[in-house]
């Protein structure tokens, strides 16, 4: 995506290192960090310097490349893969990418693995960008169809968390149709759920949309249902971290509540996902491992002080405890369609894509 007239991906290889945008510094600082070790990649994933299902998949791929530079034996490769998979359990893309790297590398001679890994990782990154471009085009058609009913109407789209280019290598998933529609001249406006507790919507989605010139309004997570009740939401488009083969959608905590409100109000609810986010081994969302993150992410909030300094303040009593499940599952019955690079599928039809 273009920032300050430069084109950026969220992650890219440099000489035996990996550069990445540190998303914990946004929206007030645009910081690129360079990582040179497997441990640094694991830290970046675990602490959400890089986050978003497709992006942590690409980060894992580059992490495998970094991790086997000193030893590319089958045992060493297996240990690198396990370290990466252990960083975050819910987004299937991470394990999918790590295992794909492992399989491809075991198929080449040990002496060639260290260099081949960079090519295999680049392929995963490039595929993500192409998939997201296609998701954008399929999703744009949905928005255009809604706009054709009333050419003057602005299409109001609610999204949750960040599923923009920052959550991927480039292009985004839930935001890809929005960018495509905006760039095609369609009148779109985005309701941006702040997305407590990490506020990916307020700090990342809002920043992305502002950079791209897309009209948007940040709202409290709890406002979405009210807006739907008052006819102010034409559709919901979210990303996902894992979609089951029956179309249950695991996404950032709070997504399920938006889907319930959308269903109650007859608002179409879409998940935009590249096919690596579909877990063909899992039928039911109840079987997905939901990441439990540090309760301090709920107990504290971070932001920029008036003097520009980054501040972190406690917002609950010291005597209180907090609980921080990072994802929830929206059952397929609440999902209107799943926007993939291969087209848009009703949950019941997803199996026709089956792998």
Residues that bind ligand LNRAV4D5 (CB under 6 A): 51-54, 161, 163, 167-168, 173, 200, 238-239, 241, 251-252, 326
Cα separation, 130 vs 111, in Å, equals 31
Per-residue CA distances from 220 to 34, 85, 158, 197, 331 (Å): 34, 33, 12, 11, 23
Radius of gyration of the chain (CA): 20
The least distance separating ligand LNRAV4D5 from the CB of residue 141, rounded to whole angstroms, comes to 20
17-21 and 11-14: which strand pairing?
Answer: antiparallel
Q: Which is nearer to ligand LNRAV4D5, 167 or 350 (CB)?
A: 167
Q: Which is nearer to ligand LNRAV4D5, 105 or 238 (CB)?
A: 238
Question: What are the residues whose beta carbons fall under 8 Å from the beta carbon of 168, sequence distance 6 or more?
Answer: 10, 52, 54, 55, 58, 128, 129, 132, 274
Can you say how many angstroms the Cα of residue 168 is from the centroid of all Cα atoms in its chain? 6
Helix (H, G, I), strand (E, B) or coil at 312: strand
20 preceded by a cis bond (ω within 30 of 0): no
The least distance separating ligand LNRAV4D5 from the CB of residue 293, rounded to whole angstroms, comes to 8
Cα separation, 261 vs 263, in Å, equals 5
Query: Is 183 one of the annotated active-site residues of the chain?
Result: no
The least distance separating ligand LNRAV4D5 from the CB of residue 164, rounded to whole angstroms, comes to 8
Length, in residues, of the chain? 355
Selecting among 128, 241, 279, 328, the annotated active-site residue is 241
Q: Which is nearer to ligand LNRAV4D5, 66 or 238 (CB)?
A: 238
Q: Which is nearer to ligand LNRAV4D5, 163 or 339 (CB)?
A: 163
Give the end-to-end CA distance of the chain in Å, rounded to a whole number.
31
Q: Do the Cβ atoms of 205 and 161 come closer than 8 Å?
A: yes
Q: Which is nearer to ligand LNRAV4D5, 147 or 180 (CB)?
A: 180
> Residue 4 half-sphere exposure, CB side, CA atoms within 13 Å?
2
Largest CA distance in the chain: 63
The least distance separating ligand LNRAV4D5 from the CB of residue 108, rounded to whole angstroms, comes to 30
The least distance separating ligand LNRAV4D5 from the CB of residue 88, rounded to whole angstroms, comes to 7
Q: Which residue ranges make up the annotated binding site for substrate?
A: 51-53, 88, 200, 251-252
* 286 secondary structure, DSSP code: G
- Just list the catalytic residues: 241
């Amino acid at each position: 995506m273009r920032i300050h007239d430069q084109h950026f991906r969220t992650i890219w290889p440099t000489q035996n290192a990996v550069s990445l945008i540190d998303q914990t510094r946004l929206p007030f600082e645009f910081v690129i960090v360079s990582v040179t070790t497997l441990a640094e990649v694991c830290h970046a994933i675990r602490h959400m310097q890089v986050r978003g299902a497709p992006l942590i998949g690409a980060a894992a791929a580059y992490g495998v490349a970094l991790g086997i530079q000193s030893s590319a034996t089958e045992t060493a490769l297996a240990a690198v893969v396990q370290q990466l998979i252990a960083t975050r359990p819910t987004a299937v893309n991470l394990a999918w990418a790590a295992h794909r790297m492992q399989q491809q590398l075991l198929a080449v001679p040990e002496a060639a693995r260290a260099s081949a890994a960079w090519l295999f990782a680049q392929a995963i990154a490039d595929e993500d960008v192409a998939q997201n471009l296609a998701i954008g085009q399929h999703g744009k058609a949905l928005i255009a169809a809604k706009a054709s009913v009333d050419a003057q109407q602005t299409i109001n789209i609610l999204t949750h968390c960040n599923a923009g280019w920052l959550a991927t290598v480039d292009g985004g998933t839930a935001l890809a149709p929005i960018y495509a529609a905006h760039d095609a001249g369609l009148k779109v406006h985005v309701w941006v759920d702040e997305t407590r507790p990490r506020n990916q919507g307020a700090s990342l989605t809002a920043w992305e949309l502002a950079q791209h010139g897309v009209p948007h309004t940040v709202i409290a997570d709890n406002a979405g249902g009210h807006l739907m009740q008052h006819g102010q939401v034409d559709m919901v488009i979210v990303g996902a971290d894992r979609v089951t083969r029956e179309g249950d959608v695991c996404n950032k905590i709070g997504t399920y509540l938006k889907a319930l409100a959308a269903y109650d109000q007859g608002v179409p609810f879409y998940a935009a996902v590249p096919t690596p986010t579909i877990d063909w081994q899992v039928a039911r969302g109840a079987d997905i491992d939901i990441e439990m993150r540090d309760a301090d992410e709920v107990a504290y909030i971070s932001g920029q002080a008036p003097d520009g300094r980054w501040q972190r303040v406690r917002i609950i009593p010291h005597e209180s405890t907090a609980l921080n499940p990072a994802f929830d599952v929206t059952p397929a019955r609440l999902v209107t369609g799943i926007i993939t690079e291969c087209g848009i599928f009703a949950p019941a039809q997803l199996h026709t894509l089956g792998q």
